[in-house]
Structure 1
Amino acid sequence: MANYGLGATPGADGIAGQTKGLTQKDFLKILSTQLTLQDPLKPMDNQQFMAQMAQFSALEQTRMGNEKLDAMLAQQAAAQSLGLIGKTVEVASAGGTATGVVTTVSFARGEPRLTVKTAGGELLNDISLSLVSLVRSST
């Protein structure tokens, strides 16, 4: 019988719940205020201005890359969860750990949720993928 370990897979909530930093709108507001309040006899150096724009561009590209990475992680979690249908899993539950067969996979807010049927016939609904601690081939 093959055993597969499965670590916690973060859902979209882990990153979506974090406070975001400055947005493009905030940056442009700061830049326009800076240009408005600068000394006309000592205007901002073009090199400084270009350096700030380059930094902002790099920051925006990083943010967009992170969004794409989040989407890829969500797709990976979805594919991983679909592969669990029919497999025997151990999941953390209120009473410790429970063992059963994954019968269905649903998606709530883009996060996979499992339904597990225990040997006693009990259905454990709305199980997060991160609660799965062990996966075995069903025999």
Structure 2
Amino acid sequence: MAVDAIGSTLGTQQTELTNNNTINQDDFIRLFLAQLQFQDPMEPVDNREFLAQLAQFSALEQSRQLSQNTADQLTMSAASQAVSLIDRQVEIAGPGGNSTGRVIAVQFGANGPELSVRDSGGQVSTGVRLSQVSLVQPVSTP
């Protein structure tokens, strides 16, 4: 899931791999045991090779977990940014030029948070991504 930061223009990147391209720890152990079971008894595989494979898989699993944790942290950061914009005056970059309005709601979907912005004429724009926000004005005190 791609996560937008305020003012950035990130492309849509797919960070989740399909199930066909992944192997979990159980699959690795099954593969490992099958390799042991069907090895040539006249030329057994060296124990060091097995340990090296196990170490490589362990490092790969740790890397996958780190990547997932980073993605989760980015998701939480985007959610926090979006919530902090509620009732703030923002400028939005759009296909027809920039527009200004007040953030009235945040919706969380599969593609990250989306803002609902009401302009001075009362029109509400929904589905505004964080990457479309080009300016955030401070909250004015009465």
Q: TM-score, normalised by structure 2?
A: 0.77
State which drifts further: 31-40 or 120-129: 31-40
Please report the RMSD computed on the Cα atoms of aligned residues, expressed in angstroms: 2.8
Asked whether the 8 Å contact 2:6–2:132 carries over to 1, the reply is no
Counting only pairs closer than 5 Å after superposition, residues 108-123 of structure 1 correspond to structure 2 as 108-109=109-110, 111-123=112-124
Tell me the distance in 1 between the aligned counterparts of 2:102 and 2:78: 18
Corresponding residue for 1:22?
A: 22
Tell me the distance in 1 between the aligned counterparts of 2:80 and 2:135: 17
Larger relative contact order (Cα-Cα within 8 Å, sequence gap ≥ 6): 1
Tell me the distance in 2 between the aligned counterparts of 1:112 and 1:84: 11
Matched letter for residue 109 of structure 2: A
Corresponding residue for 1:87?
A: 88
Asked whether the 8 Å contact 1:87–1:137 carries over to 2, the reply is yes
CA shift digits 1:85-125 (9 cap, x unpaired): 12111223231222111111121137211101112221001
Corresponding residue for 2:54?
A: 53
Pairwise CA distance, 1:132:
1.4
Tell me the distance in 2 between the aligned counterparts of 1:69 and 1:63: 10
Matched letter for residue 80 of structure 2: A
Tell me the distance in 1 between the aligned counterparts of 2:30 and 2:97: 53
Moved over 6 A (4+): none
Corresponding residue for 1:7?
A: 7
Matched letter for residue 95 of structure 1: G
Matched letter for residue 125 of structure 1: T
Matched letter for residue 51 of structure 2: M
Asked whether the 8 Å contact 1:9–1:77 carries over to 2, the reply is no
Q: TM-score, normalised by structure 1?
A: 0.79
- Runs of 5+ consecutive residues of structure 1 not aligned to the other structure: none
Distance 1:14 1:87, change over 3 A: farther
Matched letter for residue 100 of structure 2: T
Residue correspondences, number: 134
CA shift digits 1:31-61 (9 cap, x unpaired): 3453344322111110110110011011111
State which drifts further: 23-32 or 101-110: 23-32
